[in-house]
Structure 1
Amino acid sequence: PTGCLLSFSRTVDGTTFTSSIKEKTVARALYAQARAKDKLAGLVRSSALDMENFQTEVNILPGAKVQFELHYQEAKWRKLGSYEHRLHLQPGRLARHLEVDVWIIEPQGIRFVHVPDTFEGHFDGVPVISKGHQKAHISFRPTVAQQRKCSKCSETAVDGELVVMYDVHREKKAGELEVFNGYFVHFFAPENLHPIPKNILFVIDVSGSMWGVKMKQTVEAMKTILDDLREEDQFSVVDFNQNVRTWKNDLVSATKTQTADAKKYIEKIHPSGGTNINEALLRAIFILNEANNLGLLDPNSVSLIILVSDGDPTVGELKLSNIQKNVKQNIQDNVSLFSLGMGFDVDYDFLKRLSNENRGIAQRIYGNQDTASQLKKFYNQVSTPLLRNVQFNYPHSSVTDVTQNSFHNYFGGSEIVVAGKFDPDKLEKIQSIITATSANTELVLETLAQMDDLEDFLSKDKHADPDFTRKLWAYLTINQLLAERSLAPTAAAKKKITRSILQMSLDHHIVTPLTAMVIENNAGDERMLADSPPPDQSCCSGALYYGSKVAPGSIPSWANPSPAPLVPMRAEGAQVLESTPPPHVMR
């Protein structure tokens, strides 16, 4: 998941209000007091279980002149070989002054920058891309004439997404170890490795709610996915409504004949009936367990289950905690469960818990005409396992508070990120030793990083954030604690983790489900806060610049903070409006 480190400032009739982070119940009380007294008030919200979605609301008193800025920083995760940021640009009308600027600052060096044409060729010469070895700048500043759908149209062609994609040079197999100011971040994304064979079970919901476009596009995606399997892979298909069926009761090799037969089977599916998630998952786990017990799996292979569902269980076991328990008790330690939640009706938090508990991840798939491409894109992220049992070691007592450093799999095109603290007075350099299993051998990779490698680079560019190592460490740590909290076995354990999250949130100025943002003026008159919204609220956010994969951004006073649907694991999107006078440049 991604998340944000937030700050908020607002000027009302010449008075500037700035932000601070409070414990949630304290902030709620302050907000209630402000509203009761008819004072200026607003909200910046994080979702119930993670930090990936935020929503802003601002209430302005009649006659007040207000300018506000919401600054955030979010982690950019590498997917399919690149970092990607999407900005939703939907002003709804011609904008007299519209600017979006993206700066990329990368000490590793920028391998490529790509801005695909997402506006159907409407903007000739826009955006402008300037690329150097370690820095790049993308400028999107269409004139009013360029914004028109046609020469005499009053409608705007700016209605979609500005997408920026890039990647860095990766000369070191052991990854890039960046250290600064008592913190380090280790980026690991090796290439040129042979794919590890995979054993994969596709578990597809075919209940009545999947009827129509959802099922049609799921079938379309599955046909492409089956064609992408390698012959050394083994697979089968489980489909379920109130009953559970299998295309094959055993795993079979992904030959052209077998994949063609599986596609014919999927094409004949007619959705109907209820949803028996528990029985479907247990059937898939049984197939993998049997194959493993009979010695039919390559000992160096990777085993995956991919669940595609659009609803809560309605048949069989209905209690979500029992389903989690059943899966956890039966699944083997070498199997990863990935969950894809179709549409907005599915209990996405349940799917996240289910996957987090079983070495996988969950992703929401938005139910629209783009469903097939979303499914295929997710599959591509896990289609090429390159390493198993990846372990990061930093053999020195002065290296402490390391984030998750053991990973079940590494998939091609992705990236593993580990962060930690060190004592700069006791260390001149940090050593990293990575052990992992590839398709052919056991790997041991080693790298060293000097203490002052980044200092000179970060000091030379006003867009670089010299504090990114600390912020990324704090973000990763809090996210891991949130995941642990949702899986805590006892109330006492949950309470202990909650205290840790709250303290880190306050120390590092991060809005989480446990904290809130309060806006106060110079006299300490507290007026505005961030708070947890109802589940599944979407976020508004803005443009950004990148700096070593920590991407700060802002929503100036001229951006519309209305929420827009977001791809999970990204907080993204902005709706840009007209500004007078010219706005502060988005960063």
Structure 2
Amino acid sequence: MTPKPIRLVVDLEAIRKLCHWVEVACHADSGSEAPRTTVCSRASMGSRRLAHPALPLLFLVSCLGHLTEAQPPGAVTSFKISGRIQSRYAVTHVTSQMKNPSSAAAELKFKMQLPKTAFISSFIMFVDTPTPHNPPPPRQERRPLFEIKHQRGPEGHVIFYLTYEDCCRRGKEGYLYSVYIRPGHVIPAVEVDVEVIDQEALTNVAVLKVPGNNIDDVRREDPGPGRVRLRYAYEIPPGRDTLNGIFSFKYDVARRPDGGELQQKGKYFVHYFSPDGLPKMAAHTVFVLDISSSMLGEKIVQLKKAMEAILRDMKPEDSFELLTFSTAVDTIGFYQGTEDQIEMAVEKIRGLRTTGSTNLNAAYIHAINKLNQLDRKNTARQMVFLTDGQATVGITRSQSIRANVRNENVRRHPIYGLSFGVGADLKLLQEVSADNRGFARHIDESTDSEKQLIGFYQEIATPLMADVEVVYPEHEVDLESVVKQGTTHYYSGGEVVIAGVLAEGATHVEALVKGAGIAGPITFRVDRLHVAPATLLEEDNFIARLWAYLAVQVMSGD
């Protein structure tokens, strides 16, 4: 009997809840009338988490005939990557074709590591397709996130179509785009084709890494000042077991000393703010350091080394305060960024000893009060909070701590969180930082923790504007739709990204950007406005997709 095709659809809301790993399995038995298809997800289904940054992703497909004890590996016949970065919003397509050269069943694995802030917008598998080189189905047939079709044939073929999306974040070197090429199989070759399109002129385009390290083999085309296309093909040397490579490049866009660039497509808009030429402001940072007993050993050693390097990089106009906490909170001292003051602070750091439990709530509240007490104008105030554990004393319920911090921090000083080790309450740190216009990161102990801590602080070491506020007229913008990527301060090398939806009946957006600079209050008017008509299908509107992406990131606390 000819088996019936199987069609599996997972809706958008369900996939937005997936995190960490997703495993898809399709089993085919010759004795059954139809293949069995299973989808299993190892996921955190937090009630607020409509999405989670996609971590390394594993799709496991077991298919093609009888299941036997000896399962020969499948062969990859084609591996292609194409990307399109339109106004800093990247959509990446991965196509992998595999076959089972044996008559016995084989386990075919499609493995793809994604950027930690990316999410999957589409995954389609074709199993035993009569013509395995067919392109993906038309757009109107590709709306489901997962679609599996199975027809039994004399040879087994699988085609994987994966699409993921991400917003390129600006750093010190500009925007970085990376594709991880680690398929876990022997592949004959890899092809990469990426196009960058922007309204502004592209600058500082440079390829950083390619599989095989043959950077000179990358073909570059420059059709215009705001466009570049990079293509690269690499054949795997014979006898090589697998490929473990990265295709990455960086670029930037021309910047001006103004209120930024606003793009509008239909009723959706995105506003990029990263003015050029602003002088550095003085910064005051309250460092809140966990010295509870769980920090004993390598953690406290690495913390001391990193803090010493961070403090020695302070500028004379900067100031900082050191707090430690375990069962109670203690103030080590208030210091200026001068050489002699830094030496005094370093000696205090070197003398830290671990002790006691973890009182997160008291530490947060004490640090906020210290920021509020600072009597200094034109200074960017901020908190850096580092812990390796969960609250074990005082107020211990995460949501109570979060609410207390939100209520206490009425001035919305940015709070940056750093988690150390597997026991830290990273979710709480992320939520607190998101509530208070900052961000949280996890320090990976398996790599150079000291380097990670220093790199983190360098992102917030050079504020150019404090208390950045973007004002949109109520009759032009649905204010409840506005979402923001970025912090309350604007830092050198950074960017504030805001997206939203126009108000009913509005046709355009006018905006003002306000904040404080080195000399006092500063206001920018947004004069660069690029308007385009709405697309026929909303899913083809990249600004609408970018707005949805940012909204998901905000709701998930990332």
**Rg bigger for which structure?**
2
Decide which of 428, 437, 441 is 2:520's aligned counterpart.
441
Residue 423 (structure 2) pairs with residue 345 (structure 1): yes
CA distance in structure 2 between the partners assigned to 1:185 and 1:278 by the alignment: 36
Decide which of 286, 310, 313 is 1:225's aligned counterpart.
310
Residue 355 (structure 2) pairs with residue 267 (structure 1): no
What's 2:277 paired with? 192
1:437 maps to amino acid = A
Indicate if the aligned counterparts of 1:46 and 1:53 stay in contact, CA closer than 8 A: no
Residue 494 (structure 2) pairs with residue 414 (structure 1): yes
Decide which of 286, 298, 305 is 2:376's aligned counterpart.
298
Measured after TM superposition, the shift of residue 267 of structure 1 is 2.7
Residue 179 (structure 2) pairs with residue 87 (structure 1): yes
When structure 1 is superposed on structure 2, of 433-442 and 87-96 the one drifting more is 87-96
What's 2:458 paired with? 380
Decide which of 230, 251, 258 is 1:166's aligned counterpart.
251
CA distance in structure 2 between the partners assigned to 1:389 and 1:104 by the alignment: 32
Indicate if the aligned counterparts of 1:303 and 1:334 stay in contact, CA closer than 8 A: no
Indicate if the aligned counterparts of 1:431 and 1:449 stay in contact, CA closer than 8 A: no
Structure whose residues are more often strand by fraction:
2
CA distance in structure 1 between the partners assigned to 2:409 and 2:265 by the alignment: 41
Say if 1:21 and 1:422 are closer, same or farther in 2 by CA, change over 3 A: same
What's 2:291 paired with? 206
CA distance in structure 2 between the partners assigned to 1:272 and 1:123 by the alignment: 52
Say if 1:426 and 1:260 are closer, same or farther in 2 by CA, change over 3 A: closer
Say if 1:275 and 1:228 are closer, same or farther in 2 by CA, change over 3 A: same
Say if 1:451 and 1:108 are closer, same or farther in 2 by CA, change over 3 A: closer
Q: What's the CA shift string for 1:27-65, capped at 9, x where partnerless? A: 99xx99x99996323357775435232345444444353
CA distance in structure 2 between the partners assigned to 1:44 and 1:129 by the alignment: 40
SS state of the match for residue 236, structure 1? Answer: strand
Measured after TM superposition, the shift of residue 399 of structure 1 is 3.6
Q: What's the CA shift string for 1:192-230, capped at 9, x where partnerless? A: 112222221111223343344433332232222112222
2:510 maps to amino acid = Q
Indicate if the aligned counterparts of 2:266 and 2:532 stay in contact, CA closer than 8 A: no
CA distance in structure 1 between the partners assigned to 2:365 and 2:501 by the alignment: 41
Residue 147 (structure 2) pairs with residue 67 (structure 1): no
1:336 maps to amino acid = P
Decide which of 6, 11, 14 is 1:21's aligned counterpart.
11
Residue 482 (structure 2) pairs with residue 403 (structure 1): yes
Indicate if the aligned counterparts of 1:310 and 1:345 stay in contact, CA closer than 8 A: yes
Q: TM-score, with normalisation over the residues of structure 2?
A: 0.69
CA distance in structure 2 between the partners assigned to 1:241 and 1:39 by the alignment: 53
Q: What's the CA shift string for 1:223-242, capped at 9, x where partnerless? A: 22112222121112222334
Measured after TM superposition, the shift of residue 102 of structure 1 is 2.6
Greater RCO (CA < 8 Å, at least 6 residues apart): 1
Say if 1:354 and 1:183 are closer, same or farther in 2 by CA, change over 3 A: closer
What's 2:370 paired with? 287
1:31-46 equivalence runs, <5 A = 39-42=36-39
What's 2:510 paired with? 431
CA distance in structure 1 between the partners assigned to 2:354 and 2:245 by the alignment: 33
Residue 349 (structure 2) pairs with residue 257 (structure 1): no
Structure whose residues are more often helix by fraction:
1
Indicate if the aligned counterparts of 2:371 and 2:382 stay in contact, CA closer than 8 A: no
Q: What's the CA shift string for 1:475-526, capped at 9, x where partnerless? A: 333444556xxxxxxxxxxxxxxxxxxxxxxxxxxxxxxxxxxxxxxxxxxx
Indicate if the aligned counterparts of 1:403 and 1:419 stay in contact, CA closer than 8 A: yes
What's 2:188 paired with? 96
1:358 maps to amino acid = N
Measured after TM superposition, the shift of residue 439 of structure 1 is 1.5
Indicate if the aligned counterparts of 2:474 and 2:503 stay in contact, CA closer than 8 A: no
Indicate if the aligned counterparts of 1:203 and 1:305 stay in contact, CA closer than 8 A: yes
Q: How many residues align?
A: 445
SS state of the match for residue 190, structure 1? Answer: coil
CA distance in structure 1 between the partners assigned to 2:195 and 2:532 by the alignment: 21
Q: What's the CA shift string for 1:68-94, capped at 9, x where partnerless? A: 212122222223352223333334565
Q: TM-score, with normalisation over the residues of structure 1?
A: 0.66
What's 1:475 paired with? 549
CA distance in structure 1 between the partners assigned to 2:8 and 2:167 by the alignment: 24
Measured after TM superposition, the shift of residue 332 of structure 1 is 4.7
1:346 maps to amino acid = A
CA distance in structure 2 between the partners assigned to 1:118 and 1:223 by the alignment: 35
CA distance in structure 1 between the partners assigned to 2:213 and 2:442 by the alignment: 31
Measured after TM superposition, the shift of residue 351 of structure 1 is 1.0
CA RMSD of aligned residues (A): 3.8
Say if 1:372 and 1:117 are closer, same or farther in 2 by CA, change over 3 A: farther
SS state of the match for residue 87, structure 1? Answer: strand
Say if 1:473 and 1:90 are closer, same or farther in 2 by CA, change over 3 A: closer
What's 1:134 paired with? 226
Indicate if the aligned counterparts of 1:389 and 1:408 stay in contact, CA closer than 8 A: yes
SS state of the match for residue 229, structure 1? Answer: coil
Say if 1:398 and 1:436 are closer, same or farther in 2 by CA, change over 3 A: same
**What percent identity do the matched residue pairs reach?**
25
CA distance in structure 1 between the partners assigned to 2:406 and 2:12 by the alignment: 36
1:416-565 equivalence runs, <5 A = 416-422=496-502, 427=507, 429-448=508-527, 452=531, 467-481=541-555
Say if 1:129 and 1:20 are closer, same or farther in 2 by CA, change over 3 A: same
SS state of the match for residue 335, structure 1? Answer: coil
Measured after TM superposition, the shift of residue 435 of structure 1 is 2.3
When structure 1 is superposed on structure 2, of 470-479 and 51-60 the one drifting more is 51-60
Indicate if the aligned counterparts of 1:110 and 1:166 stay in contact, CA closer than 8 A: yes
Measured after TM superposition, the shift of residue 446 of structure 1 is 1.8
Indicate if the aligned counterparts of 1:44 and 1:56 stay in contact, CA closer than 8 A: no
